[in-house]
Amino acid sequence: MPTADESALVSVSKKIDSKIQQADFNGALRDIYAIVERIVTEPVCTGQAYGSHVLDELCKKIGKHNLSAIKVKPERLQRENGYPATYVYIVTKVLRAGGHIKVIEDFINCSPGSNHILLSTELIGRSDSGYADSKFLGRNNVVIEHGRCRSFLAKLNWLQTRLLEIDSSRVYLFNHNQDSVAASAIQPEMNLNAYFYHHADYQLCLGVCMKHLKHIDPHPMGYENCRKNLGVDNIYVPLVVESNKRVFKPHEFKKEGVLTTCTSAKSNKVEVSYYVSYLDMVPTLLAATGGRHLHIGRLTPWALYRIRRGLNKVGVPSDRFIYKPWVPSVWDELVDNHVDIYIASFPYGGGLTLIEAMGAGVPVVLHKHLYSRVLSSIDLAYSGVLYWSELDDLLDYCVKMSAADYKQFSLDGRRQYERFHKLDFLEKFVNDSDFTFSLPSEKIDFVVEKDKCVIWLESQITVSHVIKRNIYRMYRRIRAALF
Protein backbone atom coordinates (compact mmCIF):
# COMPACT_ATOMS: atom_id res chain seq x y z
CA MET A 1 0.00 0.00 0.00
CA PRO A 2 1.23 3.53 -0.73
CA THR A 3 2.30 5.59 2.26
CA ALA A 4 0.53 8.81 3.21
CA ASP A 5 3.07 10.93 1.36
CA GLU A 6 3.23 9.09 -1.97
CA SER A 7 0.76 8.41 -4.76
CA ALA A 8 -0.39 4.95 -5.79
CA LEU A 9 1.56 5.33 -9.05
CA VAL A 10 4.80 6.07 -7.19
CA SER A 11 4.22 3.08 -4.91
CA VAL A 12 3.55 0.75 -7.83
CA SER A 13 6.55 2.04 -9.79
CA LYS A 14 8.82 1.37 -6.81
CA LYS A 15 7.52 -2.18 -6.59
CA ILE A 16 8.10 -2.78 -10.30
CA ASP A 17 11.52 -1.13 -10.19
CA SER A 18 12.48 -3.43 -7.35
CA LYS A 19 11.62 -6.44 -9.54
CA ILE A 20 13.72 -4.98 -12.35
CA GLN A 21 16.70 -4.61 -10.01
CA GLN A 22 16.25 -8.26 -9.01
CA ALA A 23 16.17 -9.23 -12.72
CA ASP A 24 12.58 -10.43 -12.37
CA PHE A 25 11.70 -9.03 -15.78
CA ASN A 26 8.80 -11.41 -16.28
CA GLY A 27 7.16 -10.24 -13.06
CA ALA A 28 7.76 -6.59 -13.91
CA LEU A 29 6.26 -6.96 -17.37
CA ARG A 30 3.26 -8.79 -15.92
CA ASP A 31 2.70 -6.08 -13.30
CA ILE A 32 2.74 -3.29 -15.89
CA TYR A 33 0.33 -5.27 -18.06
CA ALA A 34 -2.00 -5.78 -15.09
CA ILE A 35 -2.05 -2.09 -14.17
CA VAL A 36 -3.08 -0.99 -17.67
CA GLU A 37 -5.53 -3.89 -18.02
CA ARG A 38 -7.35 -2.76 -14.86
CA ILE A 39 -7.54 0.81 -16.13
CA VAL A 40 -8.83 -0.03 -19.63
CA THR A 41 -11.52 -2.31 -18.18
CA GLU A 42 -12.88 0.43 -15.91
CA PRO A 43 -15.25 2.57 -18.03
CA VAL A 44 -14.96 5.66 -15.81
CA CYS A 45 -11.21 5.74 -16.59
CA THR A 46 -11.80 5.95 -20.34
CA GLY A 47 -10.74 9.27 -21.80
CA GLN A 48 -9.13 10.35 -18.51
CA ALA A 49 -5.50 9.40 -19.23
CA TYR A 50 -3.82 8.51 -22.51
CA GLY A 51 -0.20 7.81 -21.63
CA SER A 52 2.17 7.44 -18.69
CA HIS A 53 5.76 8.69 -18.61
CA VAL A 54 6.34 6.55 -15.50
CA LEU A 55 5.11 3.25 -16.96
CA ASP A 56 6.84 3.86 -20.29
CA GLU A 57 10.12 4.57 -18.54
CA LEU A 58 9.78 1.28 -16.65
CA CYS A 59 9.14 -0.57 -19.92
CA LYS A 60 12.20 1.06 -21.45
CA LYS A 61 14.31 0.04 -18.45
CA ILE A 62 13.15 -3.59 -18.70
CA GLY A 63 13.90 -3.70 -22.41
CA LYS A 64 17.35 -2.16 -21.94
CA HIS A 65 18.38 -4.67 -19.26
CA ASN A 66 17.02 -7.61 -21.21
CA LEU A 67 18.62 -6.54 -24.49
CA SER A 68 22.10 -6.70 -22.98
CA ALA A 69 21.75 -10.47 -22.52
CA ILE A 70 20.50 -11.25 -26.03
CA LYS A 71 23.04 -12.78 -28.38
CA VAL A 72 22.23 -12.63 -32.06
CA LYS A 73 24.24 -14.31 -34.79
CA PRO A 74 25.40 -11.88 -37.49
CA GLU A 75 22.77 -13.05 -39.98
CA ARG A 76 21.18 -9.72 -40.78
CA LEU A 77 20.77 -9.14 -44.49
CA GLN A 78 22.61 -6.11 -45.71
CA ARG A 79 20.54 -4.01 -48.09
CA GLU A 80 22.19 -3.25 -51.38
CA ASN A 81 21.12 -1.09 -54.28
CA GLY A 82 17.92 -2.53 -55.68
CA TYR A 83 17.30 -4.85 -52.71
CA PRO A 84 13.69 -4.45 -51.47
CA ALA A 85 13.16 -2.51 -48.27
CA THR A 86 11.70 -4.38 -45.28
CA TYR A 87 9.01 -2.91 -43.07
CA VAL A 88 8.22 -4.44 -39.67
CA TYR A 89 4.90 -4.05 -37.84
CA ILE A 90 4.70 -5.03 -34.17
CA VAL A 91 1.16 -5.92 -33.09
CA THR A 92 -0.41 -7.53 -30.06
CA LYS A 93 -2.94 -9.61 -31.98
CA VAL A 94 -4.28 -9.87 -35.53
CA LEU A 95 -8.06 -9.45 -35.32
CA ARG A 96 -10.72 -9.76 -38.01
CA ALA A 97 -12.46 -6.64 -36.70
CA GLY A 98 -9.62 -4.31 -35.86
CA GLY A 99 -9.07 -0.88 -37.34
CA HIS A 100 -5.30 -1.07 -36.86
CA ILE A 101 -5.08 -4.13 -39.13
CA LYS A 102 -6.80 -2.15 -41.88
CA VAL A 103 -4.27 0.63 -41.34
CA ILE A 104 -1.38 -1.85 -41.60
CA GLU A 105 -2.87 -3.20 -44.82
CA ASP A 106 -2.93 0.35 -46.16
CA PHE A 107 0.74 0.77 -45.23
CA ILE A 108 1.53 -2.45 -47.11
CA ASN A 109 -0.50 -1.37 -50.14
CA CYS A 110 1.45 1.89 -50.25
CA SER A 111 4.73 0.01 -50.64
CA PRO A 112 3.92 -3.07 -52.78
CA GLY A 113 7.53 -3.59 -53.87
CA SER A 114 8.83 -3.96 -50.31
CA ASN A 115 8.89 -6.85 -47.87
CA HIS A 116 6.55 -6.67 -44.86
CA ILE A 117 6.81 -8.64 -41.62
CA LEU A 118 4.16 -8.62 -38.89
CA LEU A 119 5.43 -9.66 -35.45
CA SER A 120 2.54 -10.49 -33.11
CA THR A 121 3.21 -10.86 -29.38
CA GLU A 122 -0.10 -12.74 -28.81
CA LEU A 123 -0.12 -11.24 -25.31
CA ILE A 124 -3.92 -11.04 -25.05
CA GLY A 125 -4.64 -14.30 -26.84
CA ARG A 126 -4.03 -15.89 -30.20
CA SER A 127 -4.50 -14.06 -33.46
CA ASP A 128 -7.25 -14.99 -35.87
CA SER A 129 -4.73 -16.87 -38.00
CA GLY A 130 -7.29 -17.98 -40.59
CA TYR A 131 -8.32 -14.41 -41.21
CA ALA A 132 -4.72 -13.18 -41.20
CA ASP A 133 -3.67 -15.79 -43.76
CA SER A 134 -6.63 -15.03 -46.03
CA LYS A 135 -6.09 -11.29 -45.66
CA PHE A 136 -2.65 -11.49 -47.20
CA LEU A 137 -3.20 -14.60 -49.32
CA GLY A 138 -1.10 -14.60 -52.44
CA ARG A 139 1.25 -11.87 -51.19
CA ASN A 140 4.70 -13.38 -51.17
CA ASN A 141 6.10 -10.20 -49.66
CA VAL A 142 4.02 -10.40 -46.45
CA VAL A 143 4.98 -12.67 -43.53
CA ILE A 144 3.20 -12.99 -40.16
CA GLU A 145 5.14 -14.37 -37.19
CA HIS A 146 3.52 -15.20 -33.85
CA GLY A 147 5.11 -15.14 -30.40
CA ARG A 148 3.67 -18.47 -29.26
CA CYS A 149 5.85 -18.66 -26.13
CA ARG A 150 3.90 -18.45 -22.89
CA SER A 151 5.80 -16.16 -20.52
CA PHE A 152 6.12 -12.40 -20.87
CA LEU A 153 9.91 -12.61 -20.77
CA ALA A 154 10.06 -15.34 -23.41
CA LYS A 155 7.95 -13.16 -25.70
CA LEU A 156 10.26 -10.20 -25.11
CA ASN A 157 13.32 -12.34 -25.88
CA TRP A 158 11.69 -13.53 -29.10
CA LEU A 159 10.64 -10.04 -30.18
CA GLN A 160 13.95 -8.32 -29.45
CA THR A 161 15.84 -11.13 -31.18
CA ARG A 162 13.72 -10.81 -34.32
CA LEU A 163 14.13 -7.03 -34.35
CA LEU A 164 17.90 -7.49 -34.26
CA GLU A 165 17.87 -10.19 -36.94
CA ILE A 166 15.71 -8.33 -39.45
CA ASP A 167 17.41 -5.65 -41.49
CA SER A 168 14.47 -3.24 -41.45
CA SER A 169 13.95 0.09 -43.16
CA ARG A 170 11.26 1.06 -40.68
CA VAL A 171 9.59 -0.50 -37.66
CA TYR A 172 6.02 0.46 -36.72
CA LEU A 173 4.67 -0.24 -33.24
CA PHE A 174 0.90 -0.95 -33.31
CA ASN A 175 0.53 -2.38 -29.80
CA HIS A 176 -2.65 -2.74 -27.78
CA ASN A 177 -2.89 -0.57 -24.67
CA GLN A 178 -1.56 -3.08 -22.15
CA ASP A 179 1.15 -4.79 -24.22
CA SER A 180 4.17 -4.30 -22.00
CA VAL A 181 6.23 -6.68 -24.14
CA ALA A 182 5.81 -4.65 -27.33
CA ALA A 183 6.39 -1.38 -25.46
CA SER A 184 9.65 -2.70 -23.96
CA ALA A 185 11.13 -4.24 -27.09
CA ILE A 186 12.50 -1.31 -29.12
CA GLN A 187 15.57 0.32 -27.57
CA PRO A 188 17.64 3.32 -28.69
CA GLU A 189 20.74 1.10 -28.85
CA MET A 190 19.16 -0.92 -31.66
CA ASN A 191 19.41 2.11 -33.97
CA LEU A 192 16.07 1.30 -35.60
CA ASN A 193 14.04 3.75 -37.63
CA ALA A 194 11.05 3.20 -35.34
CA TYR A 195 7.58 4.73 -35.11
CA PHE A 196 4.83 4.44 -32.51
CA TYR A 197 1.41 4.46 -34.21
CA HIS A 198 -1.10 5.73 -31.64
CA HIS A 199 -4.20 3.77 -32.62
CA ALA A 200 -5.28 2.73 -29.09
CA ASP A 201 -6.01 6.36 -28.45
CA TYR A 202 -8.97 6.75 -26.11
CA GLN A 203 -7.52 5.00 -23.06
CA LEU A 204 -4.19 4.73 -21.28
CA CYS A 205 -1.72 3.10 -23.66
CA LEU A 206 1.87 1.99 -23.21
CA GLY A 207 4.38 3.50 -25.62
CA VAL A 208 2.75 6.91 -25.97
CA CYS A 209 5.54 8.73 -24.11
CA MET A 210 8.53 6.87 -25.55
CA LYS A 211 10.85 9.66 -26.71
CA HIS A 212 13.08 7.40 -28.83
CA LEU A 213 10.10 6.51 -31.05
CA LYS A 214 8.62 8.84 -33.65
CA HIS A 215 5.06 9.28 -32.47
CA ILE A 216 2.27 9.19 -35.09
CA ASP A 217 -1.24 10.43 -34.32
CA PRO A 218 -3.84 9.60 -36.99
CA HIS A 219 -6.48 12.22 -36.21
CA PRO A 220 -6.58 15.90 -35.20
CA MET A 221 -8.02 15.29 -31.72
CA GLY A 222 -5.27 12.84 -30.76
CA TYR A 223 -2.56 14.99 -32.29
CA GLU A 224 -3.48 18.06 -30.27
CA ASN A 225 -4.17 16.06 -27.10
CA CYS A 226 -0.75 14.35 -27.15
CA ARG A 227 1.12 17.51 -28.10
CA LYS A 228 -0.58 19.91 -25.66
CA ASN A 229 -1.43 17.67 -22.71
CA LEU A 230 1.34 15.04 -22.80
CA GLY A 231 4.15 17.11 -24.29
CA VAL A 232 4.76 14.62 -27.09
CA ASP A 233 6.69 15.77 -30.16
CA ASN A 234 4.35 13.99 -32.56
CA ILE A 235 3.61 13.66 -36.28
CA TYR A 236 0.16 13.92 -37.85
CA VAL A 237 -0.50 11.23 -40.47
CA PRO A 238 -4.21 11.20 -41.35
CA LEU A 239 -6.31 8.06 -41.38
CA VAL A 240 -7.01 7.01 -44.94
CA VAL A 241 -9.43 4.70 -46.67
CA GLU A 242 -8.98 3.39 -50.19
CA SER A 243 -11.88 4.35 -52.45
CA ASN A 244 -14.11 1.47 -53.52
CA LYS A 245 -13.53 2.55 -57.15
CA ARG A 246 -17.21 3.22 -57.79
CA VAL A 247 -18.15 6.50 -59.38
CA PHE A 248 -19.33 8.72 -56.55
CA LYS A 249 -22.95 9.76 -56.82
CA PRO A 250 -25.36 10.40 -53.92
CA HIS A 251 -28.25 7.94 -54.11
CA GLU A 252 -31.86 8.95 -53.99
CA PHE A 253 -32.89 9.95 -50.45
CA LYS A 254 -35.01 7.25 -48.79
CA LYS A 255 -34.56 5.03 -51.82
CA GLU A 256 -35.92 2.08 -49.85
CA GLY A 257 -39.11 4.04 -49.11
CA VAL A 258 -38.11 4.65 -45.49
CA LEU A 259 -35.15 6.21 -43.70
CA THR A 260 -32.20 3.81 -43.53
CA THR A 261 -29.65 4.42 -40.77
CA CYS A 262 -26.47 2.55 -39.91
CA THR A 263 -23.88 2.19 -37.15
CA SER A 264 -20.66 0.19 -37.34
CA ALA A 265 -18.96 -0.86 -34.09
CA LYS A 266 -18.02 -3.89 -32.04
CA SER A 267 -19.44 -4.47 -28.59
CA ASN A 268 -16.49 -2.76 -26.89
CA LYS A 269 -17.58 0.61 -28.33
CA VAL A 270 -21.33 0.51 -27.75
CA GLU A 271 -21.95 -1.96 -24.91
CA VAL A 272 -20.45 0.36 -22.33
CA SER A 273 -22.04 1.94 -19.28
CA TYR A 274 -23.02 5.49 -20.23
CA TYR A 275 -25.78 8.00 -19.63
CA VAL A 276 -27.44 7.09 -22.95
CA SER A 277 -27.47 3.50 -24.18
CA TYR A 278 -26.99 2.46 -27.80
CA LEU A 279 -29.00 -0.69 -27.09
CA ASP A 280 -31.98 1.39 -25.98
CA MET A 281 -31.46 4.01 -28.69
CA VAL A 282 -32.03 1.61 -31.59
CA PRO A 283 -35.69 0.72 -30.76
CA THR A 284 -36.46 4.37 -29.91
CA LEU A 285 -34.94 5.52 -33.21
CA LEU A 286 -36.87 3.00 -35.30
CA ALA A 287 -40.11 3.85 -33.53
CA ALA A 288 -39.54 7.54 -34.33
CA THR A 289 -38.47 7.15 -37.98
CA GLY A 290 -40.43 4.09 -39.05
CA GLY A 291 -37.29 3.10 -40.93
CA ARG A 292 -34.53 0.49 -40.91
CA HIS A 293 -31.28 0.35 -38.93
CA LEU A 294 -28.25 -1.63 -40.02
CA HIS A 295 -25.69 -2.58 -37.38
CA ILE A 296 -22.27 -3.77 -38.57
CA GLY A 297 -19.98 -5.32 -35.96
CA ARG A 298 -20.23 -8.18 -33.49
CA LEU A 299 -22.46 -7.64 -30.46
CA THR A 300 -22.92 -9.94 -27.50
CA PRO A 301 -26.03 -12.18 -27.32
CA TRP A 302 -27.25 -10.07 -24.38
CA ALA A 303 -27.07 -6.90 -26.44
CA LEU A 304 -29.01 -8.44 -29.31
CA TYR A 305 -31.63 -9.66 -26.86
CA ARG A 306 -32.00 -6.20 -25.36
CA ILE A 307 -32.40 -4.55 -28.76
CA ARG A 308 -35.02 -7.07 -29.92
CA ARG A 309 -36.85 -6.90 -26.60
CA GLY A 310 -36.91 -3.11 -26.97
CA LEU A 311 -38.28 -3.40 -30.52
CA ASN A 312 -41.05 -5.64 -29.28
CA LYS A 313 -41.98 -3.17 -26.52
CA VAL A 314 -42.42 -0.27 -28.95
CA GLY A 315 -44.16 -2.37 -31.58
CA VAL A 316 -41.42 -2.26 -34.23
CA PRO A 317 -41.02 -5.40 -36.39
CA SER A 318 -37.75 -7.15 -35.64
CA ASP A 319 -36.76 -7.25 -39.32
CA ARG A 320 -36.34 -3.46 -39.24
CA PHE A 321 -33.10 -4.11 -37.32
CA ILE A 322 -30.50 -5.66 -39.63
CA TYR A 323 -27.48 -7.22 -37.94
CA LYS A 324 -24.22 -8.11 -39.70
CA PRO A 325 -21.41 -9.22 -37.34
CA TRP A 326 -18.71 -8.60 -39.94
CA VAL A 327 -18.43 -7.33 -43.51
CA PRO A 328 -15.38 -6.99 -45.78
CA SER A 329 -16.15 -3.32 -46.48
CA VAL A 330 -18.29 -0.92 -44.49
CA TRP A 331 -18.15 1.48 -47.44
CA ASP A 332 -19.72 -1.10 -49.79
CA GLU A 333 -22.41 -1.99 -47.24
CA LEU A 334 -23.41 1.65 -46.87
CA VAL A 335 -23.75 2.03 -50.64
CA ASP A 336 -25.45 -1.33 -51.29
CA ASN A 337 -28.00 -0.80 -48.51
CA HIS A 338 -28.75 2.81 -49.60
CA VAL A 339 -27.98 4.15 -46.13
CA ASP A 340 -29.32 7.69 -45.65
CA ILE A 341 -27.65 8.56 -42.33
CA TYR A 342 -24.60 7.11 -40.61
CA ILE A 343 -24.99 7.36 -36.82
CA ALA A 344 -21.50 7.21 -35.35
CA SER A 345 -20.95 4.76 -32.50
CA PHE A 346 -21.14 5.96 -28.92
CA PRO A 347 -19.93 6.34 -26.25
CA TYR A 348 -16.74 5.45 -28.15
CA GLY A 349 -16.49 6.73 -31.72
CA GLY A 350 -14.62 5.07 -34.57
CA GLY A 351 -12.39 7.00 -36.96
CA LEU A 352 -12.07 4.64 -39.92
CA THR A 353 -15.78 3.89 -40.22
CA LEU A 354 -16.55 7.60 -40.04
CA ILE A 355 -14.15 8.20 -42.94
CA GLU A 356 -15.69 5.35 -44.93
CA ALA A 357 -19.12 6.93 -44.44
CA MET A 358 -17.87 10.32 -45.65
CA GLY A 359 -16.09 8.71 -48.60
CA ALA A 360 -19.32 6.94 -49.55
CA GLY A 361 -21.15 10.27 -49.36
CA VAL A 362 -23.40 9.26 -46.45
CA PRO A 363 -24.38 12.11 -44.09
CA VAL A 364 -23.08 11.49 -40.58
CA VAL A 365 -24.46 12.33 -37.16
CA LEU A 366 -21.87 12.28 -34.38
CA HIS A 367 -22.18 12.06 -30.62
CA LYS A 368 -20.58 14.79 -28.50
CA HIS A 369 -19.12 12.76 -25.68
CA LEU A 370 -19.85 13.69 -22.09
CA TYR A 371 -16.27 14.75 -21.33
CA SER A 372 -13.89 13.68 -24.11
CA ARG A 373 -13.14 15.50 -27.35
CA VAL A 374 -11.11 12.50 -28.56
CA LEU A 375 -14.05 10.12 -28.11
CA SER A 376 -16.37 12.48 -29.98
CA SER A 377 -14.45 12.39 -33.31
CA ILE A 378 -16.17 15.61 -34.38
CA ASP A 379 -12.90 17.23 -35.53
CA LEU A 380 -12.58 14.49 -38.16
CA ALA A 381 -15.81 15.50 -39.85
CA TYR A 382 -16.81 18.28 -42.22
CA SER A 383 -17.84 21.81 -41.25
CA GLY A 384 -21.47 21.97 -40.12
CA VAL A 385 -21.68 18.26 -39.23
CA LEU A 386 -24.66 17.35 -37.07
CA TYR A 387 -23.84 16.23 -33.54
CA TRP A 388 -25.87 15.52 -30.44
CA SER A 389 -25.54 15.02 -26.71
CA GLU A 390 -29.20 14.38 -25.83
CA LEU A 391 -31.15 11.59 -27.53
CA ASP A 392 -34.00 13.92 -28.50
CA ASP A 393 -31.58 15.88 -30.69
CA LEU A 394 -30.50 12.74 -32.54
CA LEU A 395 -34.11 11.73 -33.14
CA ASP A 396 -34.94 15.25 -34.31
CA TYR A 397 -32.09 15.22 -36.86
CA CYS A 398 -33.18 11.86 -38.27
CA VAL A 399 -36.89 12.62 -38.44
CA LYS A 400 -36.44 16.06 -40.02
CA MET A 401 -33.67 15.21 -42.51
CA SER A 402 -34.83 16.40 -45.95
CA ALA A 403 -33.68 15.40 -49.42
CA ALA A 404 -31.93 18.77 -49.76
CA ASP A 405 -30.16 18.30 -46.39
CA TYR A 406 -29.13 14.80 -47.40
CA LYS A 407 -27.59 15.95 -50.68
CA GLN A 408 -25.67 18.82 -49.07
CA PHE A 409 -24.26 16.71 -46.24
CA SER A 410 -23.42 13.96 -48.73
CA LEU A 411 -21.33 16.35 -50.82
CA ASP A 412 -19.72 17.89 -47.70
CA GLY A 413 -18.64 14.46 -46.46
CA ARG A 414 -17.24 13.40 -49.80
CA ARG A 415 -15.32 16.68 -50.06
CA GLN A 416 -13.82 16.12 -46.59
CA TYR A 417 -12.73 12.62 -47.59
CA GLU A 418 -11.05 13.83 -50.77
CA ARG A 419 -9.25 16.67 -48.99
CA PHE A 420 -7.80 14.69 -46.09
CA HIS A 421 -8.31 10.92 -46.24
CA LYS A 422 -7.48 9.45 -49.64
CA LEU A 423 -4.88 6.69 -49.83
CA ASP A 424 -2.58 9.03 -51.77
CA PHE A 425 -1.77 10.92 -48.55
CA LEU A 426 -0.47 7.82 -46.79
CA GLU A 427 1.60 6.90 -49.85
CA LYS A 428 3.37 10.26 -49.54
CA PHE A 429 4.26 9.53 -45.90
CA VAL A 430 5.42 5.98 -46.53
CA ASN A 431 7.64 7.06 -49.41
CA ASP A 432 8.80 10.38 -47.92
CA SER A 433 9.13 10.48 -44.14
CA ASP A 434 9.66 14.25 -44.19
CA PHE A 435 6.25 14.92 -45.71
CA THR A 436 3.91 16.91 -43.45
CA PHE A 437 0.12 17.11 -43.48
CA SER A 438 -2.12 20.03 -42.66
CA LEU A 439 -4.72 19.59 -39.94
CA PRO A 440 -8.39 20.29 -40.70
CA SER A 441 -9.06 23.83 -39.55
CA GLU A 442 -12.72 23.47 -38.63
CA LYS A 443 -13.33 22.83 -34.93
CA ILE A 444 -16.24 23.09 -32.56
CA ASP A 445 -16.11 24.67 -29.13
CA PHE A 446 -15.93 21.59 -26.93
CA VAL A 447 -17.15 22.45 -23.45
CA VAL A 448 -17.50 19.80 -20.75
CA GLU A 449 -20.77 20.13 -18.83
CA LYS A 450 -19.24 19.26 -15.49
CA ASP A 451 -22.50 19.01 -13.58
CA LYS A 452 -23.84 16.43 -16.02
CA CYS A 453 -20.49 14.66 -15.96
CA VAL A 454 -20.14 14.31 -12.18
CA ILE A 455 -23.75 13.19 -11.77
CA TRP A 456 -23.14 10.38 -14.25
CA LEU A 457 -19.80 9.46 -12.66
CA GLU A 458 -21.41 9.27 -9.22
CA SER A 459 -24.09 6.94 -10.61
CA GLN A 460 -21.34 4.44 -11.51
CA ILE A 461 -20.34 3.92 -7.87
CA THR A 462 -22.61 0.94 -7.31
CA VAL A 463 -22.27 -2.70 -6.29
CA SER A 464 -23.72 -3.87 -9.61
CA HIS A 465 -21.12 -1.85 -11.52
CA VAL A 466 -18.29 -3.50 -9.55
CA ILE A 467 -19.78 -6.97 -10.14
CA LYS A 468 -20.18 -6.38 -13.89
CA ARG A 469 -16.67 -4.99 -14.17
CA ASN A 470 -15.15 -7.99 -12.37
CA ILE A 471 -17.13 -10.45 -14.53
CA TYR A 472 -15.88 -8.64 -17.64
CA ARG A 473 -12.28 -8.79 -16.43
CA MET A 474 -12.61 -12.50 -15.71
CA TYR A 475 -14.05 -13.05 -19.18
CA ARG A 476 -11.06 -11.26 -20.74
CA ARG A 477 -8.60 -13.37 -18.76
CA ILE A 478 -10.29 -16.60 -19.81
CA ARG A 479 -10.48 -15.47 -23.45
CA ALA A 480 -6.78 -14.55 -23.47
CA ALA A 481 -5.85 -17.92 -21.93
CA LEU A 482 -7.99 -20.10 -24.18
CA PHE A 483 -8.02 -18.28 -27.51
What is the tens place of the pLDDT at every residue in 235-259?
Answer: 999 999 888 766 777 778 999 899 9
Backbone angles phi, psi at 75, to 5 degrees: -110, 5
* Structural domain harbouring 455: 450-482
Q: What is the CATH number of the domain that holds 138?
A: 3.40.50
Average pLDDT over residues 19-36: 96
Q: What pLDDT was estimated at residue 4?
A: 45
CB 252 within 8 A of CB 406: no
- DSSP for 413-453, please give it: HHHHHHHH-SHHHHHHHHH-TT---PPP---------HHHH
Domain tally for the chain?
3
The CA-based diameter of the chain, rounded to the nearest angstrom, is 70
| Domain match, 208 and 319 both | no
| Domain match, 66 and 165 both | yes
pLDDT (tens digit per residue) in 52-83: 999 999 999 999 999 998 887 644 544 544 56
| Domain match, 89 and 175 both | yes
| Domain match, 200 and 288 both | no
| Domain match, 159 and 276 both | no
pLDDT (tens digit per residue) in 199-237: 988 899 999 999 999 999 999 999 999 999 999 999 999
pLDDT higher than threshold 90 for residue 335: yes
Backbone angles phi, psi at 115, to 5 degrees: -95, 145
pLDDT (tens digit per residue) in 360-369: 999 999 999 9
pLDDT higher than threshold 60 for residue 261: yes
Closest listed residue to residue 345, CA positions, set 263, 438, 223, 254 = 263
> Residue 84's pLDDT band (boundaries 50, 70, 90)?
confident
Q: Which residue has the higher pLDDT, 228 or 7?
A: 228
Residue 364: strand, helix, or coil: strand
Euclidean distance between the first and the last CA atom of the chain, given in angstroms as a whole number: 34
| Domain match, 417 and 474 both | no
| Domain match, 36 and 121 both | yes
pTM attached to this predicted model: 0.89
| Domain match, 141 and 221 both | yes
- Which of 204, 237, 270 terminates a domain? The answer is 237
pLDDT higher than threshold 70 for residue 41: yes
1 in any annotated domain: no
Q: What pLDDT was estimated at residue 480?
A: 73
114 in any annotated domain: yes
69 in any annotated domain: yes
Q: Which residue has the higher pLDDT, 183 or 246?
A: 183
> Residue 3's pLDDT band (boundaries 50, 70, 90)?
very low
| Domain match, 63 and 167 both | yes
